[in-house]
């Protein structure tokens, strides 16, 4: 197995997930020889070299992937552009050594995804009818609090800063009063969670672990934050707005949701990043910038 250094999870490691991915391949009649680690942040994501398959090994405690498989199957049936599960979805997810594993069709990427690529797929998702099964509601602040508590690198001053900001923002939950009616949302719509289908060049959404019932403003703000913080050309975000039909910056509660979304991104990476790692250094940059109130560009993790 060939590995890449681009992973940050300090508990759920390639040493653990690699053998699980290999076992999942063999269990489904696939050959794991030469398997490549694509990414290892929350989940371990591996690509087989002898079949167009990606194997995703979720971290401990992630038991909702049966719901993800059911949702993706429903999305395919309703014309929402999504990456496809590999093989018969009724055989997924797999449960191996306390981890939940899913297999997906591999889509080779010839160029980087740009913001306007995402617009049509995201609009199709937001306009889809409600699925005939329950969706978990969007939990805005719970993950922030859990990440602050679990982070191995935050100081007491850091925790106080982040907790105080979370408390202030939670006092004005604008999504409850100003957001659109809850519908199916992606939960983490952004460039890295979108792929281009090489058969037609169109974008498909991927990584449905955060899908929820919530206001579409959450997804739209996520796109805006990623474009701005990670220095994507401003013209690309403008093109996204034109294709989707809305600029979230015109929404009255945008500044509030922007701050919530950025806080969640900071705290989730603080939870995942081992002390002393390059990712931890980037988290420290973001914390320092949060203290001084600047609008620093971020490095992608």
The confidence score (pLDDT) of residue 11 equals 56
Tokens 């579409």 correspond to: 216
**Long-range residue pairs from 155-160, CB within 8 A, at least 24 positions apart, any chain:** 158/270, 158/287
| Between 178 and 20, residue with greater pLDDT | 20
Q: Residue 71 phi/psi, 5° resolution?
A: -65, -45
> How far apart, in whole angstroms, are the C-alpha atoms of residue 246 and residue 233?
18
> Predicted confidence band at 63 (pLDDT cuts at 50, 70, 90)?
low
What domains, with CATH codes, occur in the chain? Answer: 14-105 (3.30.200.20), 115-291 (3.90.1200.10)
pLDDT at 60 over 80: yes
Can you give the pTM of this predicted structure? 0.92
Query: Treating both helix axes as pointing N-terminal to C-terminal, what angle do 142-150 and 254-272 enclose, rounded to 10 degrees?
Result: 30
Tokens 């474009």 correspond to: 227
Give the DSSP per-residue string, 19-49.
HHHHHHHHHTT---TT-EEEEESSSEEEE-S
Q: Share the mean pLDDT of the chain.
A: 93
% residues pLDDT > 90 (the chain): 86
The confidence score (pLDDT) of residue 2 equals 39
**Long-range residue pairs from 15-20, CB within 8 A, at least 24 positions apart, any chain:** 16/44, 16/99, 17/43, 17/44, 17/46, 17/57, 17/99, 18/44, 18/46, 20/44, 20/57, 20/96, 20/97, 20/99, 20/101
Residues 196-203 have a mean pLDDT of 96
> How far apart, in whole angstroms, are the C-alpha atoms of residue 61 and residue 98?
8
> Predicted confidence band at 294 (pLDDT cuts at 50, 70, 90)?
confident
The pLDDT tens digits for 201-218 are 999 999 999 999 999 999
Residues 97-125 have a mean pLDDT of 96
Residues 193-199 have a mean pLDDT of 97
Number of CB atoms found within 10 A of residue 19's CB: 15
> How far apart, in whole angstroms, are the C-alpha atoms of residue 38 and residue 53?
12
> How far apart, in whole angstroms, are the C-alpha atoms of residue 161 and residue 146?
15
pLDDT at 65 over 50: yes
Q: Residue 185 phi/psi, 5° resolution?
A: -125, 160
Residues 166-195 have a mean pLDDT of 92
The confidence score (pLDDT) of residue 7 equals 32
Residues 228-240 have a mean pLDDT of 97
Task: List beta partners, residue 104.
Answer: 54, 85
């Amino acid at each position: 197995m060939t590995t890449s250094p681009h992973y940050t999870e300090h508990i759920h490691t390639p040493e653990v997930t690699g053998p699980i991915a290999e076992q999942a391949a063999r269990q489904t009649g696939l050959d794991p020889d030469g398997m490549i680690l694509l990414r290892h942040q929350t989940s371990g994501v591996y690509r087989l070299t002898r079949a167009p398959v990606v194997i995703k090994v979720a971290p401990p405690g992630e038991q909702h992937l049966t719901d993800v498989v059911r949702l993706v199957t429903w999305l395919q049936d309703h014309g929402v552009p999504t990456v496809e599960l590999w093989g018969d979805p009724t055989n997924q997810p797999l449960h191996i050594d306390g981890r939940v594993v899913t297999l997906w069709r591999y889509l080779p990427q010839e160029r980087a995804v740009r913001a306007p690529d995402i617009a049509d797929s995201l609009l199709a998702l937001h306009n889809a009818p409600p699925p005939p099964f329950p969706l978990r509601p969007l939990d805005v602040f719970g993950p922030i609090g859990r990440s602050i508590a679990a982070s191995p690198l935050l100081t007491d001053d850091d925790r106080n800063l982040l907790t105080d900001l979370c408390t202030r923002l939670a006092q004005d939950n604008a999504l409850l009063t100003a957001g659109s009616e809850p519908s199916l949302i992606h939960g983490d719509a952004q460039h890295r969670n979108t792929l281009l289908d090489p058969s037609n060049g169109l974008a498909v959404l991927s990584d449905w672990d955060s899908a929820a019932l919530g206001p579409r403003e959450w997804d739209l703000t996520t796109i805006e934050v990623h474009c701005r913080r990670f220095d994507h050309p401003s013209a690309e975000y403008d093109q996204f707005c034109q294709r989707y039909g809305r600029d979230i910056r015109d929404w009255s509660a945008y500044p509030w949701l922007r701050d919530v979304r950025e806080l969640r991104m900071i705290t989730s990476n603080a939870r995942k990043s081992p002390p002393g790692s390059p990712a931890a250094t980037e988290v420290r940059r973001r914390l320092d910038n949060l203290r001084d109130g600047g609008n620093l560009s971020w490095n992608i993790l």
